[in-house]
Structure 1
Amino acid sequence: MKAMVCTAYGPPEVLQLQEVAKPIPKDHEVRIKIHATTVNSGDCRVRGFRSPLLYKIPMRLVLGLRKPRQPILGVELAGEVEAVGQDVTRFKIGDQVLAFRGMRFGTYAQYICMHEDGMIVMKPEHVTYDDAAALFFGGTTALHFFRKANIRQGHKVLIYGASGAVGNLGVQLAKHAGAVVTGVCSTVNVELVKSLGADQVVDYTQEDISKSGERYDIILDAVGKLPKSLCKHLLAAGGSYVTVEGQGVAKVLMEDLRRLTDLLGKGKIKPVIDRRYALEQMAEAHRYVDTGRKRGSVVITVGHDR
């Protein structure tokens, strides 16, 4: 099978399309034919080994010393069950699914094997593979930090970086929770964030949010670029500041996957897709994500020989 292999830590060019062995499902495993995956900021950080100084040595031990121990990156996928191992009961051949791999990676490929009790759920029939593939990274991250901040109906929530993969789903999930949402983004993304349901949108290139006089129960920095020093001017008494930068990896729960999939299937949320690339264009996709200018998700469509 074809897979995009990270041959070393470095620029996007370290990603090389290679032929690798097609995995064979073991007992209780399913083999998924991947139709779509994504490139997110986490993938790019691993590929380029961008880590805070204090964590460089521990991260090398976890990820691999000279190159990723798991050379096929990618954390989320949408596809169909193509084969099943012995004693599989939850899925059958032909089932359309979406799945999350997290730090186990492996989705930059045509096929992957996963345990049937892993982070796999059925894809709603009417949802495209592209939309399904773009759901879990941003959605589970937003849910993790909202859970950490104990989001409640009526809370005033500020989302900094509201147009990104985490931010766009954060806006929609906060609104679904009954919060009053202010999204912060650049000029070009104002209309997009309004369309997601934000009650107010602040263009950070035109307005200093720290001088607005508003106070928020929750501030979610969805891109890791909001200085913590500004938050003392923005948080209400007892408010929570949560950020994707420096507060650990989001804990992903199976109940989160089911909740997100249910909301997607009912049309309550919908991931924003910025661009689509073929698997063979992975380096180009990584270069684009490295710019920090993507809106929502960058989807990789995975082709298969007939």
Structure 2
Amino acid sequence: MKAAVSRRYGKPAVVQIEEIATPSPGPGQLLVRVRASTLNRTDCGYRSGKPFLIRFFGGLRRPKALVWGTEFAGDVVALGDGATRFAIGDRVCGYCEGTFGAHAEYLVVAENRLIVPIPAGRSYAEAAPSVEGSHYALGMLRKSGIGPGKDVLVYGATGAIGSAAVQIAKDLGARVTAVGPTAHLDMVKGLGPDRVVDYQTEDFTRDQQRYDLVLDAVGKSSFWRTRRLLKKKGIYTATDHKWAHLPFLGIPVILGWIVMALLFKLSPGRKMIFVVPHKDPEGVRYLKEFITSGRFRPVLDRTYPLDQIIAAYRFVETGQKVGNVVIAVG
């Protein structure tokens, strides 16, 4: 099968298109003929091995996965022993961070991963970006206690996670303010927020409204800059933190994270939280229903064929993508 292979960490050029053996499904696994995948900041981090902390998950000296890629849409073509949740021929989309492999023509994935049927009428390119962004967004919203009547501000509403956060927060019954750039305000409005703020013409941190949650989906703001937006017990959370690669009072980064999390946890007022998404059963049930019902519409920026994946990496690393970049596999 054709695959985008990385045998070392580095710049986009370390990725090569090669012919490798097609995997076979083991017990409880599916073999999926991948039709579309995505390429996002997660893939860029794993490919580059930066920040170094990511190598504890992807391999210290060299990548432990030959093929990256965390999202997929395609057809089930074979079942391993005991795999019963899906049938051969089913159109599915899913998320496979940790095992990876979606940047290839075939993917083996455990059937108990976050995999859902593709909604009727949805193309593979539209389905591939359905799971990762929504998974991260839901984790942040649930950890922050967002539900009916809550007020949420999403900074970076044009990205994969931000656009998902706007849609999910509305679906959960929250009042949502979405922040985006002038050029993409119409797209942001199409996500269904209650208010839209153009950060290029007004300083969103001076907004007079107060929020239960400020969700920074691009990691370009901070708790200290946005804390005046928070209600008395409001929460700030982000997908990335500008200080994450620096020592904290001489303590390694990971210990700095732990210390900061504990300090804010003990605070009775406004706080910053760090969210590590996990596959909790209630969240999985919600996401499956949210996606398969067709209520969630991922935002698509552009599509690259698998043969042009290096160009896709370079584009994503410019930080200019709006929504999701899709890789057309076959």
TM-score relative to the length of structure 1? 0.92
1:165-210 Cα distance to aligned partner (Å, 9 max, x none): 0011111111111111111111111111111111111111211122
Q: Measure how far apart 1:132 and its partner are.
A: 1.4
Residue 153 of structure 1 corresponds to which residue in structure 2?
Answer: 148
Residue 265 of structure 1 corresponds to which residue in structure 2?
Answer: 292
Residue 44 of structure 1 corresponds to which residue in structure 2?
Answer: 44
Amino acid across the alignment from 1:33: R
Q: Is the 8 A contact 1:124 1:261 kept in 2?
A: no
SS of aligned partner of 1:157: strand
Q: Distance in 2 between matches of 1:185 and 1:195?
A: 12
Give identity over the alignment, percent.
41
Q: Distance in 2 between matches of 1:262 and 1:184?
A: 27
Closer, same or farther: CA 285–209 of 1 in aligned 2, 3 Å: same
Q: Distance in 2 between matches of 1:261 and 1:248?
A: 21
Residue 20 of structure 2 corresponds to which residue in structure 1?
Answer: 20
Q: Is the 8 A contact 1:121 1:257 kept in 2?
A: no
Match of 1:233 among 188, 213, 228: 228
Q: Distance in 2 between matches of 1:282 and 1:2?
A: 12
Residue 271 of structure 2 corresponds to which residue in structure 1?
Answer: none
Match of 2:216 among 203, 218, 221: 221
Q: Is the 8 A contact 1:2 1:20 kept in 2?
A: yes
**Aligned residues: CA RMSD:** 1.6
Q: Is the 8 A contact 2:35 2:73 kept in 1?
A: yes
Match of 2:237 among 231, 236, 242: 242
Within 5 Å, give how 1:56-135 maps onto structure 2.
Answer: 56=52, 58-135=53-130
Q: Distance in 1 between matches of 2:170 and 2:94?
A: 25
Match of 2:322 among 279, 292, 295: 295
1:43-85 Cα distance to aligned partner (Å, 9 max, x none): 111112221xxxx3x5334322333111211111111111122
Q: Distance in 2 between matches of 1:129 and 1:211?
A: 41
Q: Distance in 1 between matches of 2:15 and 2:305?
A: 14
Which deviates the most, 286-295 or 117-126? Answer: 117-126
Q: Measure how far apart 1:228 and its partner are.
A: 1.8
Q: Is the 8 A contact 1:276 1:301 kept in 2?
A: yes
SS of aligned partner of 2:170: helix
Which deviates the most, 169-178 or 204-213? Answer: 204-213
Closer, same or farther: CA 31–255 of 1 in aligned 2, 3 Å: farther
Q: Measure how far apart 1:258 and its partner are.
A: 4.2
Q: Measure how far apart 1:238 and its partner are.
A: 0.7
Closer, same or farther: CA 104–110 of 1 in aligned 2, 3 Å: same
Which deviates the most, 127-136 or 251-260? Answer: 251-260
Unaligned 5+ runs, structure 2: 242-273
Q: Measure how far apart 1:254 and its partner are.
A: 5.2
Closer, same or farther: CA 131–34 of 1 in aligned 2, 3 Å: same
Q: Distance in 1 between matches of 2:36 and 2:284?
A: 17
Amino acid across the alignment from 1:105: F
Aligned length: 298
Closer, same or farther: CA 254–10 of 1 in aligned 2, 3 Å: farther
TM-score relative to the length of structure 2? 0.86
Unaligned 5+ runs, structure 1: none
Q: Is the 8 A contact 2:34 2:75 kept in 1?
A: yes
Q: Distance in 2 between matches of 1:38 and 1:243?
A: 22
Q: Is the 8 A contact 1:44 1:286 kept in 2?
A: yes
Amino acid across the alignment from 1:276: T
Q: Is the 8 A contact 2:45 2:54 kept in 1?
A: no
Q: Is the 8 A contact 1:119 1:254 kept in 2?
A: no
SS of aligned partner of 2:165: helix
Q: Is the 8 A contact 2:33 2:107 kept in 1?
A: yes
Give yes or no for the alignment of 1:180 onto 2:207: no
Residue 282 of structure 1 corresponds to which residue in structure 2?
Answer: 309
Q: Distance in 2 between matches of 1:84 and 1:62?
A: 28
SS of aligned partner of 1:236: strand
Q: Measure how far apart 1:95 and its partner are.
A: 1.2
Q: Distance in 1 between matches of 2:178 and 2:112?
A: 37
Q: Measure how far apart 1:110 and its partner are.
A: 0.6
Q: Is the 8 A contact 2:57 2:98 kept in 1?
A: no
Q: Measure how far apart 1:240 and its partner are.
A: 1.1
Q: Distance in 1 between matches of 2:166 and 2:27?
A: 41
Q: Distance in 2 between matches of 1:30 and 1:264?
A: 20
Amino acid across the alignment from 1:169: A
Q: Distance in 2 between matches of 1:167 and 1:248?
A: 15
Q: Distance in 1 between matches of 2:276 and 2:320?
A: 22
